[in-house]
Structure 1
C-alpha cells in the first residue's frame, strides 16, 4: 500500500463495470437490511460492541454514510458532520477510534432508531444518486491523506454495514447474513485499490521499521489473486506472479471479520475459512503488524 501510489503496470485496477454494478447493488441491499435490523431491536441501549450501544453503532454507521455523500461528490460539498473535517487528513488506523470516530459520535447526537434508520436510508440513496453517472475509477481523497476510487468508498460503506450489522445482530441474537460476494468487494475495491492509489498516513506508527521484504499472496474463490509486498516499512500491491513468502487462502466474510478483530486467526482457521502456507509462513504476523486495520 504505497504512500504515493505505484505505477499502474505493477497491479491492475479492480474497478470494472461488473464490480461497480455489484457494489451499488450491495450498498442498497445491505443498507436496507441494516436499517431493518436496527428497527427490530427491542432495546437500543444494549451494547453491540465493547464501547457502543446498538443506537450508538447505528449512529456511527449512519454518520459515515452521511459524510460519504460529500466525499463522493464531483463538486466540493461540505461534510454533513463538519466537526470531523480536521481529523480526516491526519487519521491513522491507530487513532481513528479516539479521534474521528469519537468526534463524529459526539457531533451527531441522534440515537432514535426510527430516525437513524431513515437517515441511513436517505444517505445511501443520496450516495447512489450522486454517483449514478460518475466514473467509478475516479479517485477521491479519503482518510489519512489516502486515495480511493469512488467504487472503493462504496465498498468500504458496504463493509461497515456488514461488520456492524453482525455486531448488532449478535447482541440481540438475531440472524445476519454476510454474503461472500458482498464481503469480497471490500478486499477487491478497497484494500487492493487503496494500495494501488496510495494509503497516505493510514499505516503510520512509531514502531521501528522492519528491514527486509515480505510478500504475501492472497487468494479466494471470490477475488482475483494478488500479492501485497512489505519492504522496509512500505507496502505495495503487485500481481500474483511475484514470488511470495506467504500464501493465504481465505473466505472473504471471515477475512473481513479477522481484519476487524471480530475473529482471531485461529478461529478462522478452525472454521476452515483461512489457510496459510508458503516458504516462510512465520512472516505473516510481522506483515500484519504493519498492514493492518483498526
Structure 2
C-alpha cells in the first residue's frame, strides 16, 4: 500500500485547526442542550446519546494519543473499529447528553493543550494507523464533524460543517484514503482521478491494479476530473450522502476521458 507523505502544516493553519477543534467541542454543548438522548440517528443503530458517548470517548482517546500515551483500539479495519466502538460504549454507561457534551468539549481542549507544545510532524499511532500529530488533529476534527452532523440531523438543528472546516479535514482525508480502500470494489481498478474541491486545494488519486496513491498533482492525464462543493465532498467521504444524488443536485460535476467513473468513485472506499 502506498501512502502519501504528510506535509507539515503552516503555523497559521495549525492554529486554525486547534481553534476549530476547540470551537467545535464548545458547539457540541449548545447542539446537545435540552435534547432527548434517546432520539435515533437516521440510518444508524445509535441514538443521540450513544453518538455523544462515542464522541466523548474518542476525544479522550485522541487527547491521550496527543499526550504520548499508547492506546490500542482495533486494527484499523472497519470491523475491528466497530467492535472497539461497541465495547467502549458498553464500558461507558453515561447517557446524559449535557454531561457528555461537557466531556466532548473538555477533551477537545485537552487535545489542543497536549498537542500544542509538540512538533506537528511528531509521529503517533492511531486507530487507523501511523500518522503525524497534525494529521491526528485533522482526524479528530473530521471525526467530530461527522458525528455532530448526525446528531444535528437527528435533532433537526443546524449542522457544524462549512467550507473552512472542510479545508482543515483535508490532511486526514488524503492520508486515510489508501487505508480505507474497499478491496473488493477496487480490485483490478486502473484509473487516474483529479479531485477539485471548490475553493480549496485539489489532489489526485491514481489506482493501479486496485492500489491507490494520493498525490498533489496527477502523475498523468486524468481519466476523470471531479469538481465538488466542499460540504458535499466531506459528506460523501464520510458516507453521509451519495455521489449520485449530489450529481443530480448539481453539487458535483465530472469530465474527462472517462467521466462516467465519477458516481462510483466513493464506492471504491469503505468509510470506517
For the criterion TM > 0.5, the same-fold answer is yes
| 1:27-50 deviations in Å (ceiling 9; x for gaps) | 011111112211231x11111242
* Whole-angstrom CA distance in 2 between matches of 1:212 and 1:169: 36
Deviation at 1:78, TM superposition (A): 5.2
Aligned twin of 1:162 = 145
Aligned twin of 2:90 = 106
1:76-91 pair list within 5 angstroms = 77=69, 79=71, 85=72, 87-88=73-74, 90-91=75-76
Any idea what SS the aligned residue of 1:140 has?
strand
Gaps of 5+ in 1: 80-84
* Whole-angstrom CA distance in 2 between matches of 1:46 and 1:208: 34
Q: Determine if the alignment matches structure 1 residue 24 to structure 2 residue 7.
A: no
* Whole-angstrom CA distance in 2 between matches of 1:209 and 1:273: 24
Whether the 8 Å contact between 2:186 and 2:210 is mirrored in structure 1 is: yes
Q: Determine if the alignment matches structure 1 residue 270 to structure 2 residue 269.
A: no
Deviation at 1:71, TM superposition (A): 1.5
Number of positions where the alignment pairs a residue of Structure 1 with one of Structure 2:
270
In structure 2, the CA distance between the partners of 1:193 and 1:91, relative to structure 1 (3 Å rule), is: closer
1:215-230 pair list within 5 angstroms = 215-230=192-207
Q: TM-score, normalised by structure 2?
A: 0.88
Deviation at 1:92, TM superposition (A): 1.3
Q: TM-score, normalised by structure 1?
A: 0.82
* Whole-angstrom CA distance in 1 between matches of 2:127 and 2:265: 22
Within the candidate set 27, 30, 36, 2:30 is matched to 36
* Whole-angstrom CA distance in 2 between matches of 1:170 and 1:32: 18
Any idea what SS the aligned residue of 2:172 has?
helix
* Whole-angstrom CA distance in 1 between matches of 2:186 and 2:236: 24
In structure 2, the CA distance between the partners of 1:155 and 1:40, relative to structure 1 (3 Å rule), is: farther
Aligned twin of 1:191 = 173
Whether the 8 Å contact between 2:63 and 2:110 is mirrored in structure 1 is: yes
In structure 2, the CA distance between the partners of 1:289 and 1:173, relative to structure 1 (3 Å rule), is: closer
* Whole-angstrom CA distance in 2 between matches of 1:191 and 1:258: 11
Whether the 8 Å contact between 1:14 and 1:192 is mirrored in structure 2 is: no
Q: Determine if the alignment matches structure 1 residue 139 to structure 2 residue 133.
A: no
RMSD (Å) for aligned C-alpha atoms: 2.4
